Amino acid sequence: MRSIAKRALQNFWKRHPKSKGSLEAWHQEVAHADWASPSAVKGHFRSASVLQGNRVVFNVAGNQYCLIVKINYPY
């Protein structure tokens, strides 16, 4: 998966330093992902919630933060 907004994560963890390690770990893990469908995301992150519009909510840092991501699955 290609991330186009890592700067948004960096800006967030500058304001909330406790989130930095968890967000970096999440970013590193999803950077190597190649999900073809929402079910593939759920297979990898069971606590993720799939929303309409190809959006997924990831629980980060033991549910202290929620990260909403839009995923462009392959056509």
What's residue 75's pLDDT? 67
- Residue 41, burial from CB neighbour count under 10 angstroms (0-12, 13-18, 19+): buried
Instruction: Show the domain range for 17.
Output: 6-70
Question: What is the C-alpha to C-alpha distance for residues 27 and 10, in angstroms, rounded to an integer?
Answer: 11
For the chain, the domain total comes to: 1
Counting runs of H as helices and runs of E as strands, what totals does the chain give?
A: 3, 3
In a domain? residue 21: yes
In a domain? residue 1: no
Please list the rounded mean pLDDT of every run of 10 residues in the chain (75 residues): 78 93 92 91 94 93 91 83
Tokens, residue 51 = 């929303």
What's residue 49's pLDDT? 95
Contact 45, 67 (CB under 8 A): no
In a domain? residue 75: no
